[in-house]
């Protein structure tokens, strides 16, 4: 069973008949495992009142208060049974569970690392089988419903609930790129590395999907031993940690695991073993909501001098395009979303304003920071000047477009995963005045320069400002 979670972007485009509501239903909340996209466009706002639209956004957006309120209500009036509903099937004997899991691990990881050309349908089928095996173990683990659903905001950003995170295993192109990238990085590292190589995977989620299957594969294939590889898994959610412990046990890979830590990744400091590799993927599109930037900054400081950060680079560019073309017309007849499936004409109609940030282990240490108070820091990013636009051109939306270089030439392109979908900034109004003024709107015209900052607080994301000279450093 796949949970379909609606995802809504409201794109405010112009001052006259101007609201465009795009419903993208994805089986995996911002991660694109499902490939079915339902786009409903309401150009004229017919039948959709402002209130309805606002409610739709409330219900569907990831950072909503609904989940938090539900949880608080449950805490005020707890239901009698605190046990998670167990899988209706009787638990399988441990050896059978292990055999089933390891067999699909071998099949799926083996084909990701194999030579044959990527077949997305086959990859997706294999990851689905892997997902259901892991989900079975997750459901058998002793995790209360409250822990499974717990979702909150921490210093680094949104902390998604374990129930919402497990489906990231299905995000096929992303998982494939990371598994291949990590394997390639390890084979390069082992040409020179002495002693056990220590991999730390902060914000790994309940399945640690980018690493645990790979480690189980190494064990069954006898590729790397626990004397060569040691891993530390970190997650702030107790439910995720319980799930990780159950998976490590079932996969029979305890010897590889240095620790499964239930802490905020920002509180991690290495012990005797230096950090040789960091694997981090805690992001949503346009680096919004979750703590990727903040956690990456912390770990860039902890990485050993020859250490390797996976992904090696996240690049975000500012672009302009018509939202109608970019998000609606482009996908009208598509069954799949991926960079390869983008419409060449619509892609080339974009106006590229340039890269606004490039996150690498090195840049993370040097990007200028402005400390506003103990809760808010702003990282200074790039500038982009809005060119003169033809008078008759369609209304332009500001898009934040990400690409991820996982390792070497292995990359995740735009639309390959929910994390690389372009993020529109509906508050930046270019060459138009919105009908209704909302707090946070930024009215800009051709010739203006946008100066981007990144908010490091509980609500992380890019902040567009109008450039009016350099900002003084603290």
- Closest approach, Cβ 234 to ligand SAM, in A, equals 6
- Which residue in 105, 236, 260, 381 binds ligand SAM (CB under 6 A)? 236
CB of 348 to ligand SAM, least distance (A): 32
| Contact between 234 and ligand SAM per CB under 6 A | yes
Q: Is 159 in the site for ligand SAM (CB under 6 A)?
A: yes
* Region binding ligand SAM by CB under 6 A among candidate stretches 232-240, 301-309, 341-349, 432-440: 232-240
Question: Within positions 295 to 324, which residues make up the interface with ligand SAM, using CB under 6 A?
Answer: 295
In the complex with ligand SAM, the residue whose CB is nearer, 265 or 398, is 265
Cis peptide before 311 (omega within 30 of 0): yes
Contacts to ligand SAM from residues 61-100, by CB under 6 A: none
Interaction between residue 240 and ligand SAM (CB under 6 A): yes
Nearer CB in complex with ligand SAM: 63/165: 165
> Shortest approach of ligand SAM to residue 33 CB, angstroms?
11
CB of 438 vs ligand SAM, minimal distance in Å: 29
Residue 166 near ligand SAM by CB under 6 A: no
Residues 207-226 that bind ligand SAM (CB under 6 A): 209-210
Q: How far is the CB of 312 from ligand SAM (least distance, A)?
A: 16
Q: Is 233 in the site for ligand SAM (CB under 6 A)?
A: no
- Sites for ligand SAM among residues 188-207 (CB under 6 A): 202-205
C-beta closer to ligand SAM: residue 295 or 428: 295
Residue, CB closest to ligand SAM: 205
CB 259 within 8 A of CB 273: no
Nearer to ligand SAM, 22 or 165 (CB): 165
> Which residue, 311 or 424, has its beta carbon nearer to ligand SAM?
311
Measured from the CB atom, is 234 or 398 closer to ligand SAM?
234
Residues 370-399, interacting with ligand SAM (CB under 6 A): none
Interface residue with ligand SAM, options 160, 185, 231, 319 (CB under 6 A): 160
- What values do phi and psi take at 377, rounded to 5? -125, 145
Of 154-162, 327-335, 418-426, 453-461: span binding ligand SAM (CB under 6 A): 154-162
* SS3 of the chain: CCCCEEEEEEEECCCCCCEEEEEEEECCCCCCCCCCCCCCCCCCCCCCCHHHHHHHHHHHCCCCHHHHHHHHHHHHCCCCCCCCCCCCCCCCCHHHHHHHHHHHHHHHHHHHHCCCCCCHHHHHHHHHHHHHHHHHHHHHCCCCHHHHHCCEEECCEEECCHHHHHHHHHCHHHHHHHHHHHHHHHHHHCCCCCCCEEEEECCCCCCCCCCHHHHHHHHHHCCCCCCCEEEEEECCCHHHHHHHHHHHHHHCCHHHEEEEECCCHHHCCCCCCCEEEEECCCCCHHHCCCCHHHHHHHHHHHEEEEEEEECCEEEEEEEEECHHHHHHHHHCCCCCCCHHHCCHHHHHCCEEEEEEEEECCCHHHHCCEEEEECCEEEEEEEEEECCCCCCCCCCCEEEEEEEEEEECCEEECCCCCHHHCCEEECCEEECCCCCCCCCCCEEECCCCEEEEEEEECCCCEEEEEECCCCCCCC
Site string for ligand SAM, 258-297 (x = CB under 6 A): ------xxx--------------xx--------x---x--
Task: Provide the binding-site residues for ligand SAM, judged by CB under 6 A.
Answer: 154, 156, 159-160, 165, 168, 202-205, 209-210, 234-237, 240, 264-266, 281-282, 291, 295
């Amino acid at each position: 069973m796949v949970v379909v979670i609606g995802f809504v972007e409201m794109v405010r485009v112009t001052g006259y008949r101007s609201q465009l509501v795009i419903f993208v239903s994805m089986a995996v909340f911002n991660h694109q495992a499902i490939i079915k996209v339902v786009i409903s466009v309401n150009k004229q706002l017919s039948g959709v009142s402002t209130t309805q639209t606002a409610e739709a956004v409330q219900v569907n957006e990831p950072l909503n208060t609904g989940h938090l309120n539900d949880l608080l209500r449950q805490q005020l009036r707890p239901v009698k049974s605190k046990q998670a509903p167990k899988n209706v099937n009787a638990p399988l004997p441990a050896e059978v569970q292990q055999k089933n899991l390891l067999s699909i691990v071998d099949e799926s990881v083996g084909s990701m690392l194999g030579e044959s050309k990527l077949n997305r349908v086959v990859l997706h089928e294999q990851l689905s089988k892997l997902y259901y095996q892991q989900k079975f173990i997750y459901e058998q683990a002793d995790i209360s419903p409250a822990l499974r659903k717990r979702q909150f905001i921490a210093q680094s950003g949104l902390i998604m609930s374990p129930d919402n995170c497990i489906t990231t295993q299905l995000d096929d192109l992303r998982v494939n790129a990371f598994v291949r990238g990590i394997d390639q990085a390890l084979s390069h590292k082992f040409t020179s590395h002495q002693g056990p190589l220590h991999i730390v995977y902060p914000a790994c989620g309940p399945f640690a999907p980018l690493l645990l299957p790979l480690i189980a594969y190494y064990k069954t294939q006898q590729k790397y031993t626990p004397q060569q590889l040691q891993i530390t898994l970190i997650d702030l959610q107790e439910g995720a940690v319980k799930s990780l412990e159950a998976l490590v046990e079932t996969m029979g890979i305890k010897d590889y695991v240095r620790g499964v830590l239930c802490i905020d990744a920002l509180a991690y400091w290495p012990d005797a073993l230096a950090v040789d590799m960091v694997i981090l993927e805690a992001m949503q599109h346009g680096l919004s909501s979750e703590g990727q930037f903040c956690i990456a900054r912390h770990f860039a400081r902890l990485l050993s001098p020859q250490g390797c950060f996976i992904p090696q680079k996240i690049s975000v560019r500012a672009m302009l395009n018509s939202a109608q073309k970019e998000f609606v017309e482009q996908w009208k007849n598509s069954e799949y979303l991926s960079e390869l499936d983008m419409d060449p004409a619509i892609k080339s109609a974009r106006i590229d304003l340039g890269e606004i940030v490039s996150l690498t282990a090195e840049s993370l240490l040097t990007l200028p920071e402005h400390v506003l108070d103990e809760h808010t820091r702003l990282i200074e990013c790039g500038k982009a000047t809005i060119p003169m636009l033809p008078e008759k051109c369609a209304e332009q939306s500001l898009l934040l477009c990400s690409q991820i270089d996982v390792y070497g030439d292995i990359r995740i392109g735009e639309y390959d995963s929910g994390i690389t979908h372009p993020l529109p900034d509906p508050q930046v109004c270019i060459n138009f005045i919105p009908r209704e003024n909302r707090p946070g709107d930024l009215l800009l015209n051709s010739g203006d320069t946008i100066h981007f900052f990144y908010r490091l607080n509980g609500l992380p994301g890019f902040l567009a400002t109008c450039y009016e000279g350099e900002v003084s450093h603290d």
